[in-house]
Structure 1
Amino acid sequence: MLEFHLGNIIFQLVVFLILMVLVSKLAARPVLGMMKKRQDYIDEQLKSAEESQKQAQELLEQQRAELKRTREESSQIIEAEKKRAEAQATEIINVAKDRAERLINEAKDEIETERVKAVATLRDEVAHLSLLLASKVLEKEVDRKAHEKAIDDFVKQVGESL
């Protein structure tokens, strides 16, 4: 059966304690040191990954804000260019209207000048013809039929010269 001997138990206990001290000094501390280093490395990698993710998120937000700002700027530029083009079109139309008005006024002035010249020429012609008629009338004695004939001839001459 089982017998317990005090000497064997103490010897085994001393050997066990010596073995524990050797294992803890030679094996456990380096293993625990390696595990600590590994844990620190993993923690550092997780922290680095979190920071990278945070930076990526911030960069994404910055890019979205920049894209929004760029879209707003492009909309403003397009709107400004539309207004400028409309203003330029209005200016071109106004310049064309002014030029057309000026040309019309110049044409009216020229027509009026030509009309005045024509009236002056007609007056001169009528005066000349009146003088001719008067000289012909004075040269001969006029009776009523000759007088009417002279007037008709005069009107025909005036009509032909116009």
Structure 2
Amino acid sequence: MGEVFSPNMLFYIFNFVILYLVLKYFLFDRVKKIMESRKERVVNDINSAKLNREQSEKLIEDGKLELKKVKEQGKSLTKTYKTKAESLYDEIVGDAKKEADAILDRAKVEIDREKHKAEDEIKSQSIELAIEMASKALQDSLDKDTHRRLIDDFIAKVGN
């Protein structure tokens, strides 16, 4: 058994233990701290990424809802302005129709006035013609009262 624990072997074990302690003191604890720090940073980055992803998804959903609202508002505004435009169109057309009717009514009144004026003028000329014809035909045979009565009868007949 002497060969199993030779002085070289003991020296190797002693050197290994010293190397282990030196490495543990200078390297292992620092590496362990660095690894823990990296682990925490990675965990924090993953959690932050998850949180950012959740926030992004929420913002996307909010954006979709807002877009939907804006589209609905746009449709509503379009419908409102279309209704107002149609109402204004109907009002303008109605006013134009009223104005046209008023113009037609004034034209009818004017036509009636001109018609009565022409009728009165024709009556007047007919009376004058009748008087002239009667006076030439009867010259002096009728007296003034009979002459006036004949003219009034003629006016009454022409007037109807």
Q: TM-score range by the shorter chain?
A: 0.7 to 0.9
Residue 126 of structure 1 aligns with which residue?
A: 126
Task: Give, in angstroms, the shift of residue 138 of structure 1.
Answer: 2.7
The CA distance in 2 between the partners of 1:15 and 1:140, in whole Å, is: 179
Residue 115 of structure 1 aligns with which residue?
A: 115
Aligned runs of 1:96-111 on 2, under 5 Å? 96-111=96-111
Residue 79 of structure 1 aligns with which residue?
A: 79
The CA distance in 2 between the partners of 1:121 and 1:12, in whole Å, is: 154
Task: Give, in angstroms, the shift of residue 133 of structure 1.
Answer: 2.5
Aligned runs of 1:2-21 on 2, under 5 Å? 20-21=20-21
In the superposition, the TM-score normalised over structure 1's length comes to 0.72
Runs of 4+ aligned residues of structure 1 deviating over 4 Å after TM superposition are 1-5, 10-20
How many residues are treated as equivalent by the alignment? 142
Task: Give, in angstroms, the shift of residue 23 of structure 1.
Answer: 3.7
More moved, 12-21 vs 71-80:
12-21
What is the identity percentage for the equivalent residue pairs of Structure 1 and Structure 2? 28
The CA distance in 2 between the partners of 1:115 and 1:13, in whole Å, is: 144
Q: Structure 2: which 5+ residue stretches go unaligned?
A: 143-157
The CA distance in 1 between the partners of 2:97 and 2:22, in whole Å, is: 110
Partner deviation per Cα, 1:24-83 (whole Å, 9 max, x = no partner): 322321121111111011012112211221221122012102211110111011101210
The CA distance in 1 between the partners of 2:79 and 2:29, in whole Å, is: 74
Q: Structure 1: which 5+ residue stretches go unaligned?
A: 143-157
Partner deviation per Cα, 1:80-124 (whole Å, 9 max, x = no partner): 121012112211220221121011101101111111101210221
1 or 2 for the larger relative contact order (CA 8 Å, sep ≥6)? 2
Question: Is the alpha carbon distance of 1:137 and 1:2 closer, same or farther for their aligned partners in structure 2, counting shifts above 3 Å?
Answer: same
Task: Give, in angstroms, the shift of residue 12 of structure 1.
Answer: 8.8
Residue identity in the other structure for 1:55: Q
Are 2:28 and 1:37 equivalent residues in the alignment? Answer: no
Residue 65 of structure 1 aligns with which residue?
A: 65
SS in 2 for 1:94: helix
Residue identity in the other structure for 1:38: R
